Chain A
């Protein structure tokens, strides 16, 4: 696990155990090298470089409009970078890929499909032959997210919070090498956010997949992340990188939030984040 940025002055140290044991089963899964992107002559992303291991939860923390969404779009293959490349499990990502599952800022549910049918969409798109199995998995996921009673509700009948949970279930339905979340707790009330953090973390911690969560919420970043990348500057680059791993150590983001270490790390992250 390593990071190369020009201004990583305040970077906390890399975890040596992971970097110096090439024979370890934990492998670099996501490798992002020198991504740059500009729109209308304005540089949005400037040479963003980082790697993430299998199973790692990376949180990208940055202010609104700093190009985080653009980065996720590039990782998901929806947009092309001007330069740089992305490797997922050694494979170059070029164009739309089925290795990633992206959760958008908005819930984006199809209005004519029920919660369950919306959750099943990726399986149908993927040409999943065993839809019955996908269906039981979808029901299970929706139940975990507290939608057991709302399986057959249409999006118009769901509150914003419930719709958001359907979007979570849909994103997690299929086994992917990479889960990407764009502001997953946007417009979610705080108590529900705590609940969703725990549910999502419980799911992601057992996966081999890399998870990249983009947010402007420094607390959520500290609570969820194995690694926090703070984005800032114009054009945007990685300013600093923190190791958190609190949730993994203590079992859940909620437990992490209650710990003493949480506040200490949060203050450190905030100091950097607020200065950007």
Chain B
């Protein structure tokens, strides 16, 4: 009885989630067809879907998506790993964090658009430059989040470890690092967006492949449906990565979820 009710609730939720999308797509389709040159300027769901299938079939879409996905994943990985290590290290040595704080703030305040061109000069127009740009656009958020997470460890728990005669490193390992996970994953989720932004910026500036390249090229050709195909695939990458981060969080900190707590942003679905 109860399971049945839950099932119905879930079905209703799915329906309510999909309904606005369907309404939007329908209105778009109708409007685009009615307006003169509507499909040309605004695209339409059917033209985008048609083109998407065609580009999938000829392999070009897969190639572009793969390039962007690769840049995003590798850059995301390095940016976050370096950031998390740096953030936790700063937390372990607060003295250094006092010195470094203005520099972190400075690097964080430079928009990636301003930094990307110099990366192209230094590292060329290949994949490596894009990976560096993606890493750069994620590293500061990861650093700050890991640092804040560590710093916000409950002083009660630190005192508990002190009372047990724990060394600084033991306290760090047993309490500070696990405490930082919540902040750290919040940072990872934000960084999915920043990573994709970095990849697009890199591809806009100079590239010969990738979804950003495809979008930029489509703009030049006034090919709205092709441009929108790129946007759809970027959404796909974003959902994919957010889901992966959500799954990772469930694996790393199952204690957060035992009581049916739901992390709104962590689970796209």
Contact = CB atoms under 8 A, between A and B. Distances in A.
Contacts of A101: 163-164
B232 interface: no
Contacts of B259: 156-157
Contacts of A126: 164-165
A125 B164 contact: yes
A214 interface: no
Q: How large is the interface on B (under 10, 10 to 19, 20 to 34, 35 or more residues)?
A: 10 to 19
Contact of A125 (B157, B161, B181, B258): B161
Residues of A contacting B: mostly:
loop
Interface string A100-118: 1110101010111100000
B93 to A, nearest CB: 20
A157 to B, nearest CB: 6
A122 B164 contact: yes
B162 A121 contact: no
A78 B156 contact: no
A124 B157 contact: no
Contacts of A108: 156-157, 160
Interface string B229-269: 00000000000000000000000010100110000000000
B174 interface: yes
B81 interface: no
B174 A125 contact: yes
A106 B154 CA distance: 13
A222 interface: no
A13 B174 CA distance: 48
B46 interface: no
Interface in B152-190: 156-157, 159-166, 170, 174-175, 178, 181
Nearest to B154: A108
Nearest to B253: A112
A209 to B, nearest CB: 15
A122 B165 CA distance: 9
A94 interface: no
B164 A121 contact: yes
A152 B177 CA distance: 22
A96 B178 contact: no
A157 B256 CA distance: 11
Given A106-B156, A124-B174, A78 B258 contact: no
B170 to A, nearest CB: 6
Contact of A110 (B162, B175, B181): B175
A114 B42 CA distance: 56
B166 A112 contact: no
A103 to B, nearest CB: 9
